[in-house]
Structure 1
Amino acid sequence: MVEITSKDNEKIKSTKLLLKSKNRNKESKFIIEGYRILTLAFEQKDIIDYVFINEDFENKEEHRKFLKELEDANIKVYKTTNKNFKDMVDTENTQGILAVVSYEKKTLEKNLTDDDKYIIVLDRIQDPGNMGTIIRTADAAGADAIITLKGCVDIYNPKVIRSTMGSIFSMNIIPAERDEMLSTLKSKGIKIVSSWLNTENWYDTVDYGNKVALVIGNEANGIDDVIAENSDLLVKIPIYGSAESLNAAISSAILMYEIKKSLV
């Protein structure tokens, strides 16, 4: 373990830069913070670049055991002051441990395979909490891949990472342009299903087929008109009360599980 006290240390400065999306994209790295999510990332050791802890993290025996596991795996651990550590995370009540993690830049051509038969398409989902919850739900519902379209919040935003509860490491998440997504799914014979208010198709009364891409639209404006026009099926969830609509994460969960029933 290496101790760093200076706030001007290059390792601390480069880590802080990853709090901004443009730097995460440039370096293909992001920050995860918290003991539990680090234990999940550790299951895929090769993605962890290095770890920082604060002055208090070693106070618990289970934490000391985890640090020993990290060092046995030749993962570099740095210890710094509580103040320096706080400057590298976006949470008020930190757990005292973070890691910098590398990720692969994915494309539809390379990362969407013929075995992927259940896909979630996210169209301009902008709320980090919604994004993280949808990723977590897609994982739980057995989706094979997630496609994020231009205008979506950065999936490596710290708030998104926390909301995924570790599913960020197990889901195949691929960024794409709208037209590329449409042409790719059509060429693979995947039925494009969109959640849409102006349809007579109730979500639990239709045939989804055996290869499905479910599109979830922007929280305020719904699904892009071009996507709706190119969808094979439009469905809606009934609203029984006076609410205008359902939250994007809630509606996506209802639809994901209904579609999964037709695929098993």
Structure 2
Amino acid sequence: MSEANSVKIVTSAANATIKLVRALDDKKHRRESGLYVAEGLRTALTAEEQGVYPETLIFSAELKDHPKLKEYLGRCLKRGIECIEAGRQAMEKIARRDNPQGVIGIYRIGWHKLEDLAPKPQSCLIALQMIRDPGNLGTIMRTADAVGAEGIVLIDECCDPFSIEAVRASMGSIFAVKLARARFADFDAWRRKQGAMLVGTSLRASEDYRKVDYKDPVCLLMGNEQAGLPAEYEDACDARVRIPMRGSADSLNVAVATAIVLYEINRKSL
């Protein structure tokens, strides 16, 4: 079968795959299907660098002659991946008006077990408790990737890392960062077995994050955007730290605060 004949042409917005992309906006449907959506050719190429390919690739007919897309499309076809060229009507049905993309991939959700995230020397792990903003979560995934963190553990009712908002904010790092879910008690017991130092940020802490003697490996625990960490979670930490404020603000955005502390841990571990 030739490459051209392998590509399906879809013009109708009523097509089943087009409807699936729209349905994957819903968390319930993502959970039931085990699938999620990532947008953009750059994101698809970033995923490929991590050895991750979509189960279905959809691209706008207007981009079919784009050199990088043609090369990527060829590689996908050789792998037997379903590739769909979508006409204007079909593409408009699934394009986000705030950030329209001409390439959309449908990917398989991949959760890891805690055992897959065992912290290694000169590395760290991030635990997030009840993070509710997908933009924050995606940004933290990107930062975790940048510092070479072993992964992220989501504790309690965090937002979905596979939502389109979180995936978009991760800028492709969702394909590089291992994600796991756990109850805090299970996570805490596991990290103790690993001999990992648990560091939590808190407005009630008095210790400057720059003055801590971080014992490798380190698990950084960050709390909910509004409430911070529950008292019992703070009590389980080996160190509680705060970021000094010079101005009138008494706190930072959780993604910003995570990046600041992560880079300090990273600096001291090198």
Q: Is the 8 A contact 1:124 1:149 kept in 2?
A: yes
Quick check: 1:96 aligned with 2:135? no
Stretches (4+) displaced over 4 A: none
SS in 1 for 2:210: coil
Quick check: 1:151 aligned with 2:126? no
SS in 2 for 1:213: strand
Structure 1 match to 2:113:
107
Alignment identity in percent? 29
CA distance in 2, matches of 1:114, 1:12: 40
User: Given the superposition, is the C-alpha separation of residues 76 and 26 from structure 1 closer, same or farther in structure 2, using an over 3 Å criterion?
Assistant: same
Q: Is the 8 A contact 2:119 2:196 kept in 1?
A: no
Task: Compute the displacement of 1:44 (Å).
Answer: 4.5
Quick check: 1:235 aligned with 2:241? yes
Task: Compute the displacement of 1:177 (Å).
Answer: 1.6
Structure 2 match to 1:171:
177
Give CA-to-partner distance per residue, 1:183-213, whole Å, 9 cap, x none. 2112222111000111221111111111211
Structure 2 match to 1:255:
261
Structure 2 match to 1:65:
71
SS in 2 for 1:85: helix
Quick check: 1:43 aligned with 2:13? no
CA distance in 1, matches of 2:214, 2:52: 38
Q: Counterpart of 1:134 in structure 2: which amino acid?
A: I
Structure 2 match to 1:17:
23
Structure 1 match to 2:127:
121
Quick check: 1:160 aligned with 2:166? yes
User: Number of paired residues?
Assistant: 263
Q: Is the 8 A contact 1:216 1:248 kept in 2?
A: yes
Contiguous gaps of at least 5 residues in structure 1: none
CA distance in 1, matches of 2:144, 2:51: 24
CA distance in 2, matches of 1:247, 1:9: 41
Structure 2 match to 1:224:
230
CA distance in 1, matches of 2:161, 2:267: 27
Q: Is the 8 A contact 1:210 1:262 kept in 2?
A: no
CA distance in 2, matches of 1:45, 1:194: 33
- For the aligned residue pairs, the C-alpha RMSD in angstroms reads 1.9
User: Given the superposition, is the C-alpha separation of residues 188 and 40 from structure 1 closer, same or farther in structure 2, using an over 3 Å criterion?
Assistant: same
